[in-house]
Chain A
Amino acid sequence: MGDLVVDKHVQYILSVEKKKDSFESLVMEHLRMNGAYWGLTALDLMGKLGAVDRDMVVSWVLKCQHDCGGFGGNIGHDPHILYTLSAVQVLVLFDRIDVLDIDKVADYIARLQNEDGSFSGDKWGEIDTRFSYNAICCIALLHRLDKINIEKAVSFILRCKNLDGGFGCTPGGESHAGQVFCCVGALAITGSLNLIDKDFLGWWLCERQVKSGGLNGRPEKLPDVCYSWWVLSSLIMINRVQWIDRDKLKTFILECQDKENGGISDRPDDAVDVSLCV
Chain B
Amino acid sequence: MHGRPRKPLKAEDDAKSIAKASKLRSLQNQFLNYHRNQIFSREALEVSAELVKINPEIYTAWNYRKIAVDKFLEAVSDPVLIKNIVDEELRVVENALKQNYKSYGAWHHRKWVLGKGFSSLDRELWLLDKFLEADSRNFHGWNHRRFVAALKNIKDEEEIKFSEEKINNDFSNYSAWHNHSRLLAQLVKRDSHGNFPNECGLSEESEKLLKSEYYLAHNALFCDPEDQAGWFNYLGLLDLTVAPKAPLLTASWPSHGSNLTLSSIVQPGFCTSNGCKTSISRERVFPLILYFNQAVEGVNNSTVTVSSTCIEKRHLNWRPLSTDGLGKSKSWITYMSVPDVANPLELCQFDVSVGDSQGIISLNGYHYGLPTKFEFKLNPSSSEYSRREVNHDMVVWKDECFTKFDSLILDLNLPLTTSSHQRIGVHNRVHATEWQLDTLKSGIDLFRCLLSITDCKIGRLTLARLLTSYNIMVDGFPCTSKGSQWEEVLDLFSSLLKMDPTHAHYYKDQHSMVLIEQVTSDRDTLLKHCWHHEKQTSIGSLSNVWLRLNNLSLSRIGSFERLLWVQMLDLSHNELRSIEGMESMQLLTCLNLSHNQFGSFTSLEPLKLINSLRVLDISHNEIGGHSIDTTRYTCSSPLTHAPGVTWDSKAFVGDQEVRSDNWELILIFKNMPLTQLDIAGNPGNYEKCRTILIKALPNLKWLDGVSVE
Give A contacts to B, CB under 8 Å: 21-24, 26-31, 72-73, 76-78, 80, 122, 124-126, 128, 140, 145, 150-151, 158, 162-164, 168-170, 172-176, 188-195, 199-200, 202-204, 206-207, 209, 218-221, 224, 226, 236-239, 241-245, 248, 258, 265-267, 269-273
Contact = CB atoms under 8 A, between A and B. Distances in A.
A201 B578 CA distance: 17
A223 to B, nearest CB: 12
Contacts of A242: 505, 577
B108 interface: yes
A243 B503 contact: yes
Contact of B641 (A24, A150, A258): A150
B236 interface: yes
A192 B502 CA distance: 29
20 contacts: A22-B17, A76-B35, A76-B36, A124-B62, A125-B112, A126-B108, A128-B104, A170-B143, A173-B142, A174-B174, A174-B179, A190-B643, A194-B324, A194-B634, A220-B137, A226-B2, A236-B628, A270-B1, A270-B6, A273-B1
A25 to B, nearest CB: 8
Given A140-B641, A203-B235, A265-B6, 14 more contacts: A76-B60, A124-B66, A164-B178, A164-B232, A168-B143, A169-B143, A173-B142, A173-B143, A191-B641, A192-B642, A220-B227, A241-B628, A271-B5, A273-B1
Given A192-B324, A204-B232, A270 B636 contact: no
Contacts of A193: 324, 633-634
A93 B664 CA distance: 24
Nearest to A25: B21
Contact of B502 (A24, A151, A170, A209): A209
Given A163-B240, A164-B235, A236-B633, A270 B3 contact: yes
A190 B633 CA distance: 10
Nearest to A145: B641
Given A206-B503, A244-B503, A27 B57 contact: yes
Interface string B496-516: 000001111110010000000
Interface of B is mostly: helix
B436 interface: no
Nearest 5 interchain pairs by C-beta: A191-B642, A163-B236, A191-B640, A219-B228, A164-B232
Given A174-B178, A239-B578, A245-B501, A30 B6 contact: no
A162 B184 CA distance: 12
Nearest to B62: A124
A124 B63 contact: yes
Contacts of A22: 17, 21
A53 to B, nearest CB: 24
A251 to B, nearest CB: 12
B112 to A, nearest CB: 7
A275 B177 CA distance: 31
Contacts of A207: 228, 231, 503
B640 A31 contact: no
A145 B143 CA distance: 30
B507 to A, nearest CB: 9
B642 A31 contact: no
Point out which of B104, B172, B603 has the most chain A C-beta atoms below 10 A from its C-beta: B104
A3 B502 CA distance: 22
A173 B140 CA distance: 9
Nearest to B240: A163
B560 to A, nearest CB: 15
A199 B172 CA distance: 24
B609 to A, nearest CB: 13
A255 B289 CA distance: 54
Nearest to A241: B630
Contact of A220 (B108, B229, B328): B229
Contacts of B363: 158, 195
B652 interface: no
A209 B500 CA distance: 12
Point out which of A173, A200, A242 has the most chain B C-beta atoms below 10 A from its C-beta: A242
A190 B506 contact: no
B175 A174 contact: yes
A172 B328 CA distance: 25
B263 interface: no
Contacts of B21: 21-23, 26
Contact of B24 (A26, A31, A122, A170): A26
B59 A78 contact: yes
Interface in B48-65: 54-55, 57-60, 62-63
Contacts of B344: none
Given A125-B112, A266-B3, A194 B326 contact: yes
B25 A21 contact: yes
A219 B59 contact: no
Contact of B6 (A125, A219, A220, A258): A258
Point out which of B58, B236, B328, B641 has the most chain A C-beta atoms below 10 A from its C-beta: B641
Contacts of A140: 641
Given A174-B142, A209-B503, A269-B5, A220 B326 contact: no
A23 B55 CA distance: 10
Contacts of A126: 104, 108
A219 B2 contact: no
Interface string B5-30: 11100000000010011001100100
Nearest to B504: A245
A108 B24 CA distance: 32
B410 interface: no
Given A194-B634, A219-B228, A271-B4, A172 B182 contact: yes
A257 B272 CA distance: 59
A273 B504 CA distance: 32
B6 to A, nearest CB: 4
A209 B633 CA distance: 23
B516 to A, nearest CB: 14
A134 to B, nearest CB: 13
B455 to A, nearest CB: 18
A237 B633 contact: yes
A78 B24 contact: no
B351 to A, nearest CB: 31
Contacts of B227: 220
A30 B139 contact: no
A204 B231 CA distance: 10
B625 interface: no
B658 interface: no
A220 B231 CA distance: 11
Given A24-B1, A163-B240, A206-B506, A219 B232 contact: yes
Contacts of A163: 178, 181-182, 185, 232, 235-236, 239-240
Contact of B58 (A30, A162, A267): A30
A270 B504 CA distance: 30
B325 interface: yes
A158 B365 CA distance: 12
Given A162-B178, A224-B2, A172 B503 contact: no
A167 to B, nearest CB: 12
Interface string B209-243: 00000000000000000011101110110011000
Given A163-B181, A269-B6, A189 B641 contact: yes
Nearest to B107: A126
Contacts of A80: 59
B631 interface: yes
A134 B448 CA distance: 47
B469 to A, nearest CB: 14
